[in-house]
Each structure stands twice: as structure tokens, then as C-alpha cells.
Amino acid sequence: MTNIKLINFLYKNLSKQTYINSIKRTKIEAENSYKGRIHHTFIAYKNFGVVLGGLEGKTPLKDLLMFDFLEKKWSLVSDKTPKSIFGHSANVFADEMVVFGGCDGRILLKDLRIFDFISKTLVFA
């Protein structure tokens, strides 16, 4: 497929999805809250949003938070992970969040962390 054909294909197909822009977004008022952070991950699983690590200013964080979109409430799942982590990647696979890499504030990490949504446990592979 030439570049022009590809651009035309994408334009025609993506322009049909304008309904995405019409979704009404509203601010969710949570019952409780946590401080802002950067370089964390946020993933969605069923009716939950999960946040892992990040930085609060220059301080690396090691907490795992869950937001229940139905209850509109945050909960602290764990703050006892062995290492702080930021700049990592995370994805959902089946009933698990798979986390790779990142930094703990001193070294680049190459470990694999798996959070099981059913048992609510975080393990290292």
C-alpha cells in the first residue's frame, strides 16, 4: 500500500469514528484522594483503575492504588512493595497486571512484577 493510499484509508476509516469525540466526559468526585504524581502507570480492569508507583516531586513511590469507578472511591492495595518504582510499563493480561522495568531512584530495573486482581497480591517473577 502506498503512502497516499494508506493516508486515504486511515482518513476514511478514522473519520467514521467521530462518535468517540461526542462522548461526554465529566469530572469524577472521589470520596477520598491521594496526592498527585508523575511517571506512574494507570491501567483499567473491569470497573477499576489501578495506579502503581510514580514520583511525588522527586520522591519515588511504591504504592499500589485502586479506584472503584462504581463506588467512586480509592483504596490502598499495598504500600509494602520491596522497591519504589517509576517510569515502568504495565498492561493487563487475563486477571493480572503485568509490570516491567522502570527505575527505583538509583538503578534501572529489569524485573517483572505481576499483580493478581483476584487475590490482590503483587508477586515478582
Question: According to the 3-state scheme, what is the secondary structure of 55-108?
Answer: EECCEEEEEEEEEECCCCEEEEEECCCCCCCECCEEEEECCEEEEECCECCCCE
Per-residue confidence of the chain (125 residues) as pLDDT tens digits?
Answer: 556 676 666 556 555 444 445 556 677 777 777 888 999 999 999 999 999 999 999 999 989 999 998 888 999 988 766 688 999 999 999 999 999 999 999 999 998 999 999 998 888 77
pTM: 0.75
First vs last C-alpha separation in the chain: 42
Q: Domain limits of the chain?
A: 25-124
